[in-house]
Structure 1
Amino acid sequence: MKASSIDVNLSTREIQVRGTAIPLGSRAFDILTVLMAAHGQVVSLEDILRKVWPDTVVEESNIRVHVCALRKALGEDRRLIQNIPGRGYRLTPRCDMPAARAGMSMASEER
């Protein structure tokens, strides 16, 4: 994924912001990939819980904790993750970017 200054490599599970590798916990990374896969659509809290914690019962507050960590890692681009009250979260495109480059781009190995 690449949004002017953010690179996410799904195959190595690494994120770089402005060329600097940023440590990110596995659950926060999983939430990011779920949001990226939704292509700007709202992802419900239930869907996030089901996809990130498939065989575990956790509270919705766990999502908030990991989204907070993800926003902190994104720094100036933290607003890319938008909370939709009562519905969930979505990854929004940057206003100053052309539509074709909006959001974040992914680098992954096709298998």
Structure 2
Amino acid sequence: MIRIGNLTVLPDRREVLVDGAPVELSYRAMEVLLILIEANGALVTKDELMDRVWPTTIVEDNNLYVHICRIRKVMDEHRKLLICAPGRGYRLLRPVQPTHAASTFVARTDARQAAR
């Protein structure tokens, strides 16, 4: 689970929640979002995005722009986190960090301390 502002992205399920409510993103928009998340704040060039999202198809920059606009719309007031580096590519302005569920935390007791 990854949080970006009010978005929760569940990459394994390919789902996006906004304030806990599911939001539909197209397959391609989800691919773009996941690539940007994977970059963890680094710039992703337009060419890289296009090569990874449309590997066997020749598309124009406008196709990418349409999906970026959809992601920004979903991000609502946090849309400024997704920025364009004109002529270069896109980045999520700040690195995103996975959120770990409380159930993944396991307290361990040192056997020597437990024996005391």
> What's the TM-score, normalizing by structure 1?
0.82
Assess, with a 3 A threshold, how the Cα gap between structure 1 residues 2 and 88 changes in structure 2: closer, same or farther.
same
Report the Cα offset of residue 86 of structure 1: 1.1
Matched, 1:35 2:28: no
Residue ranges of structure 2 left out of the alignment (5+ in a row): 101-116
Taking the aligned partners of 1:106 and 1:36, their CA distance within structure 2 comes to 13
Taking the aligned partners of 1:77 and 1:41, their CA distance within structure 2 comes to 18
SS of structure 2 residue aligned to 1:15? strand
Where does 1:50-65 land on structure 2 (aligned, <5 Å)?
A: 50-65=51-66
Task: Say whether the 8 Å CA contact 2:5–2:78 is kept in structure 1.
Answer: no
**% identical aligned pairs:** 35
Residue ranges of structure 1 left out of the alignment (5+ in a row): 94-101
Matched, 1:103 2:104: no
SS of structure 1 residue aligned to 2:4? coil
Taking the aligned partners of 2:71 and 2:99, their CA distance within structure 1 comes to 16
1:66 maps to what in 2? 67
Report the Cα offset of residue 4 of structure 1: 4.4
1:79-102 alpha-carbon deviations (Å, 9 max, x no partner): 111000111000112xxxxxxxx5
SS of structure 2 residue aligned to 1:2? strand
Taking the aligned partners of 2:47 and 2:4, their CA distance within structure 1 comes to 27
Taking the aligned partners of 2:99 and 2:51, their CA distance within structure 1 comes to 22
SS of structure 2 residue aligned to 1:7? strand
SS of structure 2 residue aligned to 1:41? coil
CA RMSD of aligned residues (A): 1.6
Report the Cα offset of residue 103 of structure 1: 3.0
Greater RCO (CA < 8 Å, at least 6 residues apart): 1
Higher helix share: 2
> What's the TM-score, normalizing by structure 2?
0.79
